[in-house]
Amino acid sequence: MIAKLHSAALRGVEAVEVEVEVNSPGTGTPRMVIVGLPDAAVRESAERVTSAVHASALTKNDGVITINLAPADLKKEGPSFDLPIALAVVACAQNNRLDGAVDCQILGELALDGSVRPVKGVLSAAIEAKARGKRRLLVPEQNAREAAAVGGIEVFGVRGLRQAWDFLNGDEVLVPARAGGSNGREERSYSVDLEEVKGQPHVKRALEVAAAGSHNLLMVGPPGTGKSMLAKRMPTILPDMTEEEAIETTRIHSISGILDPGAGLLRTRPFRNPHHTISNAGLLGGGSKPGPGEISLAHNGVLFLDELPEFRRQALEVLRQPLEDGQVTISRAAGTLTFPSKVLLVGSLNPCPCGYFADPVRECSCSHRQVEHYRQKISGPLLDRIDLHVEVPLIDFRQLSSREPTENSETVRERVQEGRARQQYRFRDAPGVRVNSDMGPGQVRRHCELDRESSTLLEQAMEQLNFSARAYDRILKVARTVADLDGSDLVRATHLMEAIQYRSLDRKLMH
């Protein structure tokens, strides 16, 4: 007989259903043949399956065993087909149709002793299984909570091949997994807090504005002023992730293999801090087996680029399109993959190579040529895509040693959430627009209308500071966010003035 089970293959962040077909007539020289565009990891499953079947006290036919992974024109990668292949091989040997697997999708890597190891992309597989009308999902026990985040489908975690076989045959009863803890949810958790940063009130204000409207932020200042400390605390003042955002983020981390075993949905916003030696593919995504880069791993969170000019200029330039569109498209001969990249970019840089240009205390040791070369590593078009530029000066001993309490992350986050709530109501009928930074030109005109005083103020700023058309739109978006934090329906001159001051650094320090 021919045994048939269902599994899934990953394609970008999506999963595609794969039918596992096994034919074992019991004749010919004993060998296992896998067809259907398998990669090396899939072809090697023959050895793992053979050992696991014997170790689990199950049987398989002698002779040629042919395994087909359909559709045959879709490349199959990774060890997640081990478990369905083994179950189908045993079913074929026992002439067992495995009626319990008719409405079930199965994934899992096998160890030689028959135990089941966790695999990547289980959340995407669960979403695909539900879309295909499957009622059950059989996965490694360590992946069960992750997959259970998808409602409307029962998820069962197994520890070994024998347990999976007994369950599908009705000889063992398993309890469906739950998505999170006792209340079915994961909790957000951060080890840092904004109150730990002394001084810099105007920079903390810039972080608040950036968080409220999801605006990109650039901090400029000498070494030791707290730029990295402030950036690492940005996720702590961002609003809690919605269910949709949590699923989007978890899917990306799952297919990348960096999700902790046994974890459910991610509730803590990601913070990614790549080193400046990173390649284009590492930052944007791609490679021989295209996968998400750092900008996608930071989706719905913060991408922090410390010492921005130290990154290769080409690597920075490839960020321009993803920052604008919120997604990365990678084209290869085999096809095109799209990864989400909706991030809040936070960058930091020194004003010059030594870090002390225009410092009132320490003398700069850089030549004029070195300073110019350093600043020109960041292009004008990239700077235009960073909404807020803020100086971070050195703080004195009095501020460092002060014991006066400062605002903690929870207090700031509450204000940020209030501002976000106003934006959600404003854009309730605008698909794809969640925050002010998402606004298109038409929405900017509609929601950022200026009175005569504000219009005159912006005109003078545009002429004197030589801002670009893109900077014009971004000033209005930031002003709209400042107004939201102020609880105002109108963008007033004071809101506009604060937004303009956040744009002055790109002309003052970069040219």
- Provide mean pLDDT across the span 464-482: 87
- At 67 the pLDDT is 96
- At 333 the pLDDT is 67
The β-bridge partners of 286 are 291
Pairing of strands 327-332, 136-140: unpaired
Residue 509 has pLDDT above 60, yes or no: no
- Provide mean pLDDT across the span 306-311: 91
Contact between residue 339 and residue 328 where contact means Cβ atoms under 8 Å apart: yes
- Provide mean pLDDT across the span 41-47: 94
Domains present along the chain, CATH in parentheses: 2-168 (3.30.230.10), 194-508 (3.40.50.300)
Q: How far apart are CA 447 and CA 442, in angstroms?
A: 9
pLDDT band at 507 (very low <50, low <70, confident <90, very high): low
Assign 331 to helix, strand or coil. strand
Three-class DSSP labels, 250-297: HHHHHHHCCCCCCCCCCCCCCEECCCCCCCHHHHHEECCCCEECHHHH
Which residue's entry shows tokens 């893109």?
Answer: 470
Pairing of strands 136-140, 104-106: parallel
Residue 210 has pLDDT above 80, yes or no: yes
Q: How far apart are CA 76 and CA 64, in angstroms?
A: 21
Residue 1 has pLDDT above 80, yes or no: no
Higher pLDDT, 472 or 183: 472
State phi, psi for 44 to the nearest 5 degrees.
Answer: -70, -10
Classify burial at 29, counting beta carbons within 10 Å of its beta carbon; exposed 0-12, middle 13-18, buried 19 or more: exposed
Residue 35 has pLDDT above 50, yes or no: yes
- At 182 the pLDDT is 37
- At 398 the pLDDT is 76
Residue 361 has pLDDT above 70, yes or no: yes
Residue 360 has pLDDT above 80, yes or no: no
pLDDT band at 135 (very low <50, low <70, confident <90, very high): very high
- At 510 the pLDDT is 45
pLDDT band at 100 (very low <50, low <70, confident <90, very high): confident
- Provide mean pLDDT across the span 292-317: 93
Residue 335 has pLDDT above 80, yes or no: no
- Provide mean pLDDT across the span 71-80: 93
Return the top range by mean pLDDT from 184-198, 398-412, 427-441: 427-441
pLDDT band at 508 (very low <50, low <70, confident <90, very high): low
The amino acid at 229: M
Q: What is the pLDDT of residues 371-389, one digit of tens each?
A: 888 888 888 888 888 999 9
The β-bridge partners of 219 are 348, 390
Least confident of 68-72, 86-90, 380-384: 380-384
Contact between residue 57 and residue 113 where contact means Cβ atoms under 8 Å apart: no
Residue 505 has pLDDT above 70, yes or no: no
Higher pLDDT, 240 or 505: 240
Average pLDDT, whole number, for the chain?
90
- At 423 the pLDDT is 95
Contact between residue 120 and residue 257 where contact means Cβ atoms under 8 Å apart: yes
Q: What is the pLDDT of residues 156-197, one digit of tens each?
A: 999 999 999 999 999 999 999 987 643 445 567 788 999 998
Residue 511 has pLDDT above 60, yes or no: no
**CA nearest 284: which of 318, 324, 308?**
318
Q: What is the pLDDT of residues 212-269, one digit of tens each?
A: 999 999 999 888 888 999 999 999 999 999 899 999 999 999 999 998 888 888 989 9
Q: How far apart are CA 284 and CA 165, in angstroms?
A: 42
Assign 207 to helix, strand or coil. helix
pTM equals 0.89
- Provide mean pLDDT across the span 92-118: 93
Return the top range by mean pLDDT from 148-152, 192-196, 300-304, 499-503: 300-304
- Cα-only R_g, the chain: 27
